[in-house]
């Protein structure tokens, strides 16, 4: 089992933990789930859970690549 930042990649996180990792509000997190950007699981009721590996994948997809113009300036 791989460890990243103190979490195993298959660990389930609650909404508060994900909001802290992504530095987003509950409203933003809800929007990310509703628009399909993040998968959430509701195994036994109201509480949403998220796979840590999927949070990491979301962050990787959100990576900003420098444009050719920005690279030419450096």
pLDDT 10s digits, 13-64 = 999 999 999 999 999 999 999 999 999 999 888 899 999 999 999 999 888 8
Global confidence as pTM: 0.74
Supply the pLDDT for residue 1.
44
Residue 72 belongs to some domain of the structure: no
* Total count of domains within the chain: 1
Distance CA 20, CA 13 (A): 11
Residue 51 has φ and ψ, to the nearest 5°, of -80, 130
Residue 40 domain boundaries: 3-64
Buried b (16+ CB within 10 A) or exposed e, 51-69: bbebbeebeeeeeeeeeee
CATH of the domain at 49: 1.10.1660.10
Residue 74 belongs to some domain of the structure: no
Residue 38 belongs to some domain of the structure: yes
Residue 73 belongs to some domain of the structure: no
Residue 30 belongs to some domain of the structure: yes
């Amino acid at each position: 089992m791989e460890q990243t930042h103190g979490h195993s990649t298959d660990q389930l996180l609650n909404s508060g933990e994900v909001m802290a990792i992504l530095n987003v509000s509950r409203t933003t997190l809800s929007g990310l789930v509703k628009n399909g950007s993040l998968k959430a699981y509701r195994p036994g009721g109201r509480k949403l859970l998220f796979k840590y590996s999927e949070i990491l994948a979301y962050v990787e997809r959100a990576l900003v690549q420098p444009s050719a113009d920005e690279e030419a300036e450096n």
